[in-house]
Amino acid sequence: MYTIVKYSHIHGRGVFAAIDIPKGTRIFEYTGELISREEEDRRERENDKTGVTYIYQLNEHESIDGAHGGNDSRFVNHSCDPNVEGVIKKKHIYYVALRDITQGEELFIDYAFDKDSKPEPCHCGAANCRGVMNAM
Ligand SMILES: [Zn+2]
């Protein structure tokens, strides 16, 4: 296993490198239930009440909901200066190291939410922080 999930007082739960992870490593797959865009919209409304959503958009029509059958990858936090990217191959999403990651570092992905959806404020602290987790 490349990672461990830990609580940090800054981000709540996060995913950290358990060992050194070389650039290009496929760390894990973003697993979960394959759902339609309509079902995603329904769940987003539902989740707005509880505040937690683990839905990753796969393509125009489908998404993966990590809340159902998901693994630790769903706890990867957002940064505008990420060290991991989601690579989509067919109906799978793989989290791949964008650079060498040192043991103990937290993993971050750029959520890049739809620019037309509700702005989600970002406080990641990166020098290039966009101020929102949405794509520009
Ligand atoms: Zn940011």
**Whether the model pTM is above 0.85:** yes
Distance 133 CA to ligand 1 centre (A): 6
Report the pLDDT value the prediction gives residue 76, as an integer from 0 to 100.
96
Residue bearing the bigger pLDDT, 80 or 114: 80
Distance 78 CA to ligand 1 centre (A): 8
Residue bearing the bigger pLDDT, 79 or 44: 79
CA 121 to each of CA 11, 55, 97, 111, 129: distance values in angstroms, whole numbers, following the listed order: 14, 18, 25, 12, 10
Q: What is the edge-to-edge ordering of all strands in the sheet holding 55-57?
A: 33-36, 62-65, 55-57
Distance 126 CA to ligand 1 centre (A): 6
- 84 contacts 129 by C-beta, under 8 angstroms: no
What integer is the mean pLDDT of 2-15?
Answer: 88
Instruction: Say which residue the tokens 């990217």 belong to.
Output: 85
Distance 121 CA to ligand 1 centre (A): 8
Q: Measuring CA to CA, which residue among 5, 42, 6, 11 is closest to residue 27?
A: 5
Report the pLDDT value the prediction gives residue 38, as an integer from 0 to 100.
95
Distance 80 CA to ligand 1 centre (A): 4
Task: Give the whole-angstrom CA distance, residue 30 versus residue 15.
Answer: 13
Report DSSP state, residue 43: H
- 64 contacts 32 by C-beta, under 8 angstroms: yes
Task: Give the whole-angstrom CA distance, residue 52 versus residue 48.
Answer: 7
**pLDDT tens per residue across span 24-64:** 999 999 999 999 999 999 998 888 777 788 999 999 999 99
| Long-range contact pairs involving 126-132 (C-beta distance under 8 Å, separation at least 24) | 126/79, 126/80, 126/81, 127/81, 128/80, 128/81, 129/80, 129/81, 130/80
Distance 125 CA to ligand 1 centre (A): 6
